[in-house]
Chains A and B, each alone.
Chain A
Amino acid sequence: MAGRAIVAWLDERVDLSGLRHFVAEKTVPVHAHKVWYYMGGLALFLFLVQVATGILLLLYYRPSASEAYESVKFIVSTVEFGWLIRNVHSWSANLLVLIAFIHLFSTFFLRAYRRPRELTWLSGVALLFLMLAFGFSGYLLPWNELAFFATKVGTGVAGAVPVVGDFLVRFMRGGDEVTGATLTRFYGLHVAVLPAITTVVLALHLLLIQRQGMSVPIGVEKRAREGVPIAQMPFFPNYVLRDLMWWFIALAIIAALSVFSPWELGQKADAFAPVPAGIRPEWYFLAMFQLLKMLPSHILGLEGEMLGVLGFSLIAVAVLLVPFLDTRAARGEPNRPLTVIGIVGLILFIAFTIYGYVAA
């Protein structure tokens, strides 16, 4: 067939044997927890959706304070299917962060970060932070009221960092206040800086997974050591088709959300308007935001907000260093206390997020 002829032509010039081996030989472990394997691929797929819709939006978006809002309005009302592209981009972003968190928690609880996959974990956590940065920077781009004030509050939190706080705020805002300068800065971040960094980190993450194969739960590994072989399924086509199924389900969810809960544009940002009541960031920052709001203004003489920010930074560092802190997993042993910490952390995260919604 024509397909085979093309493959043969390419094989002559670019040695495709590695690719052919990959397609024919790669397998994925089969066990009770294999459903979590799909989360990573789903996150990758959603990221690709973001890149595609983001590039499409780039064709019409204008990153200046006097034109940003109008250009988004133009996209959703005048450009054919612009409303669809914008809604897919906004909803897929949220879904991406959700899946990324699920992926983080599932790899945490399954100890997938244990030796030799520490680098995979580090790059993965870095990717999560990058997705959060994408979300924060992208949120401002429509330059509407909600985004403007959310950015004002969010960048203001950085001021609580001791010593470099003021510099950080100025650096993020491109000035002392949130202005058109902030918009262009966030735009540059969102479409150039973050994608470039993400490409590198993502490539590393995927390369590591390819080289090391999929991690299996500790119990399965132990049984394998005792002689029970781990069932495998061919990557291509079995796993790929299952992956595709998840991707399609995600697409259906995004499409449904785009129709039944379209993203509003709201009012154009006005620096001199009073802050609208109930201002709050997107759900993935809500728990942090709510906690900061609840902290008293001073604890033991130190600024409450500063302690909050430092606390979150410590949690972030701890999350990064989990593979090195969990010595038991490295030895292939379960670690009950860590599991409990993880569950408590997850519950608190969910609880404060819900509280953040309810309190507004």
Chain B
Amino acid sequence: MSELPSPGAPVRRRTVLDAILGIGIFSTLASFLYPVWRYVIPPALAEPDTDSVVAGRLAEFRNNSGAVLKFGTKPAIVVRTPDGQFRAFNAVCTHLDCTVQYKSDTSQIWCACHNGLYDLSGNVVSGPPPRPLEAFRVNVRGEPGQEEVVISRT
């Protein structure tokens, strides 16, 4: 059988072991708690922008202007007509999928690829596109002076 262990060595070994154990458990816990802490803090983009997206501040849109922005995985075009109304469409041209843009000299939506032209209701005026642009809903919401333009699918 074993002799009585000498007091010095095993205690030191055990303290080292305890220290390693303590550090191990602590660092493992930290490696769990840190991600959880970061997780519960909301990300910059607060919610998935699937069905609606903020196009910008009301003041950013002058009459007779348009802008293309990201809506989900496809581009959308938001247009402010010469008389101040908002229209929004799927900016994917129905001909060969190029991205359309706003032409302020004729107040039409134009596709640079093959000269497709759409009116401000999304209907095809001339050129190769076979179908009109898919229309989205536009709403303005927010405090007066800080209104936002919101595009949504339905």
Question: Is A80 in contact with B28, judged by CB distance below 8 angstroms?
Answer: no
* A56 contacts the other chain (CB 8 A): yes
Question: Is A81 in contact with B35, judged by CB distance below 8 angstroms?
Answer: yes
Question: Is B39 in contact with A70, judged by CB distance below 8 angstroms?
Answer: no
Contact-size category for B: 10 to 19
Question: Is B38 in contact with A81, judged by CB distance below 8 angstroms?
Answer: yes
Q: Which of A66, A73, A74, A85 contacts B39 (CB 8 A)?
A: A85
* A198 contacts the other chain (CB 8 A): no
* A257 contacts the other chain (CB 8 A): no
* B36 contacts the other chain (CB 8 A): yes
How far is it, in angstroms, between the C-alpha of A73 and the C-alpha of B41 when the chains are bound? Answer: 17
Question: Is B28 in contact with A251, judged by CB distance below 8 angstroms?
Answer: yes
* B145 contacts the other chain (CB 8 A): no
Contacts A71-B48, A78-B45, A248-B28; is A84 near B35 (CB within 8 Å)?
yes
Question: Is B50 in contact with A70, judged by CB distance below 8 angstroms?
Answer: yes
Question: Is A74 in contact with B47, judged by CB distance below 8 angstroms?
Answer: yes
Q: Looking across the interface, which residue of chain B has its beta carbon closest to that of A82?
A: B39
* A302 contacts the other chain (CB 8 A): no
B19 smallest CB distance to A (angstroms): 16
Task: Mark each residue of chain A from 66 to 77: 1 if its CB lies under 8 Å from any CB of chain B, else 0.
Answer: 110011011000
Q: Looking across the interface, which residue of chain A has its beta carbon closest to that of B39?
A: A81
**A85 proximity list for chain B (CB < 8 A):** 35-36, 39
Q: Which residues 54-70 of B have a CB within 8 angstroms of A?
A: none
Q: Looking across the interface, which residue of chain A has its beta carbon closest to that of B36?
A: A56
Contacts A85-B35, A248-B28; is A66 near B51 (CB within 8 Å)?
yes
B147 smallest CB distance to A (angstroms): 25
How far is it, in angstroms, between the C-alpha of A80 and the C-alpha of B51 when the chains are bound? Answer: 22
Q: Looking across the interface, which residue of chain A has its beta carbon closest to that of B44?
A: A78
**B50 proximity list for chain A (CB < 8 A):** 66-67, 70
- Summed over the interface, the residue pairs from A and B with CB atoms below 8 Å come to a total of 38
How far is it, in angstroms, between the C-alpha of A81 and the C-alpha of B51 when the chains are bound? Answer: 24
How far is it, in angstroms, between the C-alpha of A71 and the C-alpha of B45 when the chains are bound? Answer: 12
Contacts A248-B28, A251-B28; is A80 near B39 (CB within 8 Å)?
yes
Which of B28, B40, B41, B51: most chain A Cβ within 10 A?
A: B40
Question: Is B36 in contact with A80, judged by CB distance below 8 angstroms?
Answer: no
How far is it, in angstroms, between the C-alpha of A248 and the C-alpha of B38 when the chains are bound? Answer: 22
* B43 contacts the other chain (CB 8 A): yes
**B39 proximity list for chain A (CB < 8 A):** 56, 59, 79-82, 84-85
How far is it, in angstroms, between the C-alpha of A338 and the C-alpha of B96 when the chains are bound? Answer: 69
B72 smallest CB distance to A (angstroms): 9
Which of B28, B35, B43, B48: most chain A Cβ within 10 A?
A: B48
Q: Which residues 29-45 of A have a CB within 8 angstroms of B?
A: none
A141 smallest CB distance to B (angstroms): 15
Contacts A81-B35, A85-B35, A251-B28; is A70 near B48 (CB within 8 Å)?
yes
How far is it, in angstroms, between the C-alpha of A70 and the C-alpha of B45 when the chains are bound? Answer: 13
**B40 proximity list for chain A (CB < 8 A):** 56, 59
**A79 proximity list for chain B (CB < 8 A):** 39, 43
A76 smallest CB distance to B (angstroms): 11
Question: Is A67 in contact with B38, judged by CB distance below 8 angstroms?
Answer: no
A199 smallest CB distance to B (angstroms): 22
How far is it, in angstroms, between the C-alpha of A59 and the C-alpha of B38 when the chains are bound? Answer: 13
Question: Is B38 in contact with A80, judged by CB distance below 8 angstroms?
Answer: yes
B70 smallest CB distance to A (angstroms): 14
B22 smallest CB distance to A (angstroms): 13
**A70 proximity list for chain B (CB < 8 A):** 48, 50
How far is it, in angstroms, between the C-alpha of A79 and the C-alpha of B35 when the chains are bound? Answer: 11
How far is it, in angstroms, between the C-alpha of A78 and the C-alpha of B39 when the chains are bound? Answer: 10
A54 smallest CB distance to B (angstroms): 13
How far is it, in angstroms, between the C-alpha of A248 and the C-alpha of B47 when the chains are bound? Answer: 34
B32 smallest CB distance to A (angstroms): 8
How far is it, in angstroms, between the C-alpha of A71 and the C-alpha of B48 when the chains are bound? Answer: 6
15 A-B pairs in the complex with CB atoms less than 8 angstroms apart: A56-B40, A67-B48, A67-B51, A70-B50, A71-B48, A74-B48, A79-B39, A79-B43, A80-B38, A81-B35, A81-B38, A81-B39, A82-B39, A85-B35, A251-B28
* Seed contacts A71-B48, A73-B48, A85-B35; 9 additional CB < 8 Å A-B pairs: A56-B40, A67-B48, A70-B48, A70-B50, A74-B48, A80-B38, A82-B39, A84-B39, A251-B28
